[in-house]
């Protein structure tokens, strides 16, 4: 029974319920205390250990009913082979005997034992269904059944042919039930693998190719990535036990010991929170990239650090207050459409954007500031104002430029990327969420 509970917990995890090792052990203890006599008591005991929120309770309830549903395999009266009253020769294969006798309980038990033998809970992908059906059939003894069918095919006589027909119908009936059982197991255990595969695919997909139906899933991916970055970079640092001796703190700390230096204190370098200014192009040519860059910035401003944000197209406007005032969906709509921000969404003009930033935001750039620019540097053949970017480069700690275009496109057509390159600490192609994660991870690590 312990293996049954382990498989149930595996099914819960596949459905999206996060279960730790400690919670797994609590569930085992709870099941041992209440026993397995009452379905309701077992369900309540397991729920108290495994379901921690209302969504998880709903998933738990649904998965419990599906996993512990009554075994109805081989119960379809219309398709069940009619038991044969007499057999001139008793078949050798046990599976053949159960099928011809109509032994539903024996067939059901054999199928459950075969499922444990081949570990059907390991099924992850829909392409594995046929493989697991074949493995279960073999584990139940289908090879002996097929041998009996071949033997009857070579035996003359009307009785042998009747038995042969009944045995073929019984094999088809068995196959249908095993296939249905594998389908049920796939629906229980494949969810997590399918989601992981889809997540890996979306992390490496160019954002310009992302479909509308995947926007919500991508937002969940970004939220998980930001949570990881927050956990990684906001941990309390361990107290230093080496370095430069801080004499004043050491003397003050050891006054209780009459001046004997039992507890030396060391000087530690203070790690400042990163000071970030983000300047984001929201023109049509980078619309898909801008959406998820803004979403990433929104999540970071909540979890890691406050970011001063600016958006531009034909001109530039500050958007920091929108991140603080609105929810995520409203923020993305307002920023991409420029609602209430005084931004003109016409031809992209990097020169005007730099001039506006010089007037509105340059005073806030110091040697502790990292300036992040998201844009393709396509300026419609206008003045690129490289002198202003040079000034920003001199005043800031570093300038990082993220462009959705690969290096082979830089400087082609109306692209001014090569003219901006000398004034950037780093220029990176950023066309996928994984690219964006690496840049932000680097930024928080080297602050």
- Rounded CA gap, 318 and 356, in Å? 10
Answer for the pair 357, 279: CB distance below 8 angstroms, yes or no: yes
Percent of the chain at pLDDT above 70? 80
pLDDT tens-digit profile of 256-304? Answer: 887 788 788 887 655 556 688 889 998 887 877 777 777 777 666 655 5
Say how far residue 195 (Cα) sits from the centre of its chain: 6
pLDDT tens-digit profile of 398-446? Answer: 999 989 888 999 989 999 999 999 999 989 888 887 787 777 777 666 6
- Rounded CA gap, 325 and 304, in Å? 17
Confidence bin at 91 (pLDDT 50/70/90): low
Report which DSSP code applies to 378: B
More confident residue, 199 or 312: 312
Answer for the pair 423, 392: CB distance below 8 angstroms, yes or no: yes
Sign (positive or negative) of CA dihedral 413, 416, 419, 424: negative
**Predicted local distance difference test score (pLDDT) of residue 275:** 80
DSSP states of 284-310: GGGHHHHHHHHHHHHHHHHHT--EEEE
**Predicted local distance difference test score (pLDDT) of residue 87:** 46
Percent of the chain at pLDDT above 90? 15
**Predicted local distance difference test score (pLDDT) of residue 240:** 55
Q: Which two tokens stand for residue 188?
A: 């229980």
Cβ count near 353 (within 10 Å): 26
pLDDT tens-digit profile of 4-31? Answer: 788 788 778 777 777 888 888 888 888 8
Mean pLDDT value of segment 116-130: 82
**Predicted local distance difference test score (pLDDT) of residue 208:** 65
- Rounded CA gap, 141 and 180, in Å? 18
Please name the residues in contact with 43: beta carbons below 8 A apart, sequence gap of 6 or more. 61, 64
pLDDT tens-digit profile of 346-359? Answer: 889 999 999 999 99
Confidence bin at 88 (pLDDT 50/70/90): very low
């Amino acid at each position: 029974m312990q293996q049954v509970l382990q498989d149930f917990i595996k099914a819960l995890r596949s459905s999206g319920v996060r279960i730790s090792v400690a919670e797994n052990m609590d569930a085992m203890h709870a099941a041992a205390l209440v026993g397995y006599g009452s379905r309701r008591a077992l369900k309540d005991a397991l729920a108290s250990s495994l379901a921690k929120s209302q969504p998880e309770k709903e998933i738990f309830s649904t998965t419990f009913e599906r996993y512990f549903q009554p075994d109805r395999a081989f119960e379809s009266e219309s398709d069940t082979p009619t038991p044969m009253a007499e057999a001139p020769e008793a078949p050798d294969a046990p599976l053949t005997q159960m099928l011809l006798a109509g032994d539903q309980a024996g067939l059901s038990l054999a199928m459950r034992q075969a499922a444990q033998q081949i570990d059907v809970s390991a099924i992850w992908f829909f392409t594995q269904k046929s493989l697991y059906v074949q493995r279960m059939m073999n584990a139940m003894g289908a090879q002996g059944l097929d041998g009996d069918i071949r033997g009857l095919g070579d035996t003359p006589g009307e009785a042998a042919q009747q038995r042969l027909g009944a045995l073929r119908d019984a094999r088809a009936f068995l196959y249908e039930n095993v296939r249905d059982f594998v389908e049920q197991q796939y629906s229980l255990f494949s969810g997590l693998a399918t989601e992981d595969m889809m997540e890996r695919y979306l992390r490496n997909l160019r954002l310009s190719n992302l479909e509308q139906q995947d926007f919500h899933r991508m937002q969940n991916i970004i939220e998980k990535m930001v949570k990881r970055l927050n956990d990684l970079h906001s941990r309390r640092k361990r107290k230093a036990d080496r370095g430069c001796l801080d004499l004043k703190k050491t003397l003050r700390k050891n006054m209780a010991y009459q001046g004997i230096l039992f507890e030396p204190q060391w000087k530690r370098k203070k790690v400042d929170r990163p000071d970030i200014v983000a300047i984001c192009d929201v023109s049509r040519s980078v619309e898909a990239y801008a959406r998820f860059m803004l979403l990433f910035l929104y999540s970071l401003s909540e979890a890691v650090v406050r970011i001063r944000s600016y958006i531009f197209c034909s001109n530039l406007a500050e958007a920091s207050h929108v991140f603080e005032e609105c929810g995520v969906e409203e923020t993305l709509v307002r920023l991409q459409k420029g609602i209430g921000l005084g931004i003109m969404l016409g031809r992209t003009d990097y020169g005007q954007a730099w001039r506006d930033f010089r007037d509105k935001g340059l005073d806030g750039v110091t040697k502790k500031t990292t300036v992040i620019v998201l844009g393709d540097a396509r300026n419609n053949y206008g003045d690129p104002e490289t002198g202003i970017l040079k000034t920003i480069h001199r005043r800031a700690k570093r300038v990082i430029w993220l462009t959705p275009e690969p290096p082979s496109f830089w400087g082609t057509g109306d692209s001014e990327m090569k003219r901006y390159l000398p004034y950037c600490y780093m220029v990176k192609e950023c066309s996928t969420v994984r690219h964006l994660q690496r840049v932000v991870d680097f930024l928080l690590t080297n602050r």
